[in-house]
A and B are shown apart, each in its own frame.
Chain A
Amino acid sequence: MTSDVTGISDWESEIEIPEQLDERMLSALRFIILREERARLESLEEQSAHSEETLASLEATIDELSNRLGDDRALVDTLEPIVAPVISRKITENRDEMARTIGPVIGESIRVQLRNNREDIVDALYPVIGETVAKSVRESFREFQKSIDRQLRGPANIGRTIQAQMKGVSASELALRESLPFSINHIFLIQHDTGLLMTQHQLTDSEMPPGLIGSMLTAIRQFAHDSFGRHGTSSQLDEIQFGDERIIIESGQHAYVAAVVQGTEPTQFHTALRDYISNLHIEHGPALRDYDGDVASLEHLQTGLSDFSGTLSPEDLTANPSSMGKYTVPVVSGCLVLMLLGLLGFMFCLYATFKLWPLIFADDNNSLTSVTPTAIVVTDTPSPPTVRPTNTPLPPTATQEPTATPITAVSVTSEPATEVPTVVPPTATPEPPPSATPEPAIAPTEPSQVTDAAVTANTLGNVWVLEEPDVYDKRTGMLLKDTSVTLLAVYGDWVQLEWTVAETGAVKQGWILRRWIELAQPIPESLITPTPNS
């Protein structure tokens, strides 16, 4: 207002106003002339007032925004409703671009989060990963179980059982071991010093150039040998592991074989590799030593290596006798032979038992049968009557030779059955005249009358006494060694004897082979009964 009044005053000073005009007219005039300006001025004043309000409002808004920007929580609250839809829309519109954009950020975020708060990540992922892992493990175990079942039910299970017993593990453990996955990816034959690849066999696809593998392997081995090998030793790097793959190396003098494998190799695998490289050196030693890089010179080894690779599967290694270990085949063969011998022995014992049963357990009322013989040998071909016991134990040809303990029924002092009687030369005592003329007969004669000139003798060992002169005849008892007997009759190799049992005074008779007695005098002809062959 002040400025307006001043303005008017200035205006009034510039315009000459007649004094006669009264104040009222001037006011009217002012009103007329300045009406529009006054209205504009009022409008401006209103606008100014409004602007100040707006400015105040803006300042308040700015302050509020500043506060929000400074307050993370408030900022999140503000952006949260906006960001999610924006990202969602962006993902829908351009999924690949979003993946490219936020992928590295997410990766880094996870790394940071893992570093700073591992537990949270684990807790968050556990439900997903845990279930995935459990499913995978279940699946693997199911396959594993099927594999073991197949092996245990298969025809090779008997062989496996024997093999397991020999190795000191159970068949199921062996089956378990054989079920572990194993595969061969590549086999190389490499010259020692140069690292030149001699030949190779590839079983799975590989991007690595074989020639370079040979050189790199050689470099690594030689580096390891030069760096870590003790002076004077021939220690070599024999295995390299990289991830799931391993390189198993077996060395020969001029070359080494390297097998790239996955899984757990069978125990025979190393042996098979060793055998291969050894045989290779035996058969192609000069060619391996003189190899100068001429690929054609060792082409013939390619077939051998391929064939060898074909024998390296776990099944083949298990079934292949040559790789089953040095002693497996002899031991198995030995066991089979022993089993066969045992079976034959058992059958023989069975046969002998049935055959000799009647002889051993003869129904005999004689008290002498209380003796239990422990060994009996019987033959169908008795030795000639002239044969006498010697210092050398006679072969058990025509003898029943019990080795039982002495019987109580016989008063004669017994000696161990194994003791052999001493040689007593035949005496030259003149033969007494026969007291009775024997009747020529085929059958053994009846006991003749004992005369004064009775022929006496001593037994040379413990011997079974038979009822008739036949090894298969009924036993009546046993005569112990050094029993004094009287000769009643002779029939072939057999002699009929009579003796007295000391304890009871009973007189017994029976037949034994002639060589088991020692005669005190020659046998009178009257006692001899001719045999059909005589």
Chain B
Amino acid sequence: MKTFRKKICLLGHYSVGKTSLTRRFVEDRFDENYLSTIGIHISKQSLVLKDKDMEVELLIWDLAGGERFADVGPYYLRGAVGALVVCDLTDARSSWEMPYHASQLREVNKDAHFVFVGNKSDLTDQIVVSLDDIRRLSADFGGQALLASAKDGSNVSEAFAMLVAQMYR
């Protein structure tokens, strides 16, 4: 089995749940009392693509709240081959910014891969953004989108797997 290492990023508005998605994917837990920190959080998780007989070791770069203060630094995006662009389904404004975040990485790496993720799907009674809305926003960036919930874990691994599959399609 071949092993590959890839750097990917999580992009999105502040407090949409990027770090929670990462933590759920890497550590399989959701921290209810999670407080945003300042800086970059890097974690590692491997995915196995059985059909391609390969293991992909993902180095996941997460801004962990640093995006509150400034635009994403170039060092954050440099070398990244893909990104999960995340919005909060209960906050329409966060979804509007998704193309902007994706374009930042596109400027650094024109071949970058994207998956647009609508987080907090568990808050069914507060959702104001639909999957179709997200699909429309992702149209210029590959058009792959899905709804997920870091809280209950639904579709979290699938989002990362979708991104990896896109890389080796």
Contacts and interface: CB of A to CB of B under 8 A. Distances in A.
Interface of A: 191-197, 209, 211-212, 214-216, 218-219, 222-223, 225-226, 292-296
B126 interface: no
A-B pairs with lowest CB-CB distance, top 10: A222-B75, A194-B79, A193-B79, A293-B5, A295-B3, A293-B4, A215-B42, A196-B5, A193-B78, A194-B7
A215 B6 CA distance: 11
A155 B151 CA distance: 69
B4 A195 contact: no
B73 A226 contact: yes
B79 A223 contact: no
B40 interface: yes
Contacts of A292: 4
Nearest to B75: A222
B75 A196 contact: no
Contacts of B6: 196, 293
A292 B79 CA distance: 10
Nearest to A194: B79
Interface of B: 2-7, 40, 42-44, 57, 59, 61, 73-76, 78-81
A64 to B, nearest CB: 53
A469 to B, nearest CB: 94
21 contacts: A192-B79, A193-B79, A194-B80, A195-B59, A195-B79, A196-B6, A196-B59, A209-B44, A212-B42, A212-B59, A215-B61, A216-B42, A218-B79, A219-B76, A222-B73, A222-B75, A222-B78, A223-B75, A293-B5, A293-B57, A295-B2
Nearest to B6: A293
Contacts of A214: 59
Contacts of A191: 79
Contacts of A293: 4-6, 57, 81
A194 B4 contact: no
Contacts of A222: 73-75, 78
Nearest to A221: B75
A316 to B, nearest CB: 31
Contact of A196 (B7, B40, B43): B7
B88 to A, nearest CB: 25
A192 B2 CA distance: 23
Contact of B79 (A196, A294, A295, A296): A196
Contacts of A295: 2-5, 57
A215 B3 contact: no
A226 B57 CA distance: 27
Contact of B75 (A197, A211, A219): A219
Contact of A223 (B2, B59, B73): B73
A150 B80 CA distance: 53
A494 B73 CA distance: 98
A423 to B, nearest CB: 85
Given A191-B79, A193-B79, A211 B44 contact: yes
Given A194-B78, A222-B75, A211 B2 contact: no
Contacts of A225: 75
Contacts of B79: 191-196, 218
Contacts of A218: 75, 79
B108 to A, nearest CB: 9
A225 B76 CA distance: 12
Nearest to B76: A219
B6 to A, nearest CB: 5
Contacts of A197: 5
Contact of A294 (B2, B74, B80): B2
B75 A215 contact: no
A472 to B, nearest CB: 87
Contacts of B40: 219, 223
B42 A296 contact: no
B52 to A, nearest CB: 13
Contacts of B80: 194
Given A211-B57, A294-B4, 10 more contacts: A194-B7, A194-B59, A196-B79, A211-B59, A212-B42, A212-B43, A216-B42, A222-B74, A222-B78, A293-B5
B7 A226 contact: no
Contacts of A195: 7, 59, 79
B123 to A, nearest CB: 32
A296 B1 CA distance: 10
Contacts of A211: 5, 44, 57, 59
A203 to B, nearest CB: 22
Nearest to B80: A194
A226 B75 contact: yes
A295 B57 CA distance: 10
Nearest to B5: A293
Nearest to A209: B44
A194 to B, nearest CB: 3
A243 to B, nearest CB: 20
Contacts of A212: 42-44, 59
Contacts of A296: 2-3
A288 to B, nearest CB: 13
Contacts of A219: 40, 42, 61, 75-76
B105 to A, nearest CB: 13
A195 B77 CA distance: 11
Nearest to A219: B40
B35 to A, nearest CB: 21
Of the listed residues B6, B7, B73, the one surrounded by the most CB atoms of chain A closer than 10 A to its CB is B7
Nearest to B42: A215
Contacts of B76: 219
A388 B57 CA distance: 94
Nearest to B79: A194
A226 B78 CA distance: 12
Given A195-B59, A215-B42, A226 B5 contact: no
Nearest to A225: B75
A515 to B, nearest CB: 86
Nearest to A213: B42
B5 to A, nearest CB: 4
Contacts of B3: 294-296
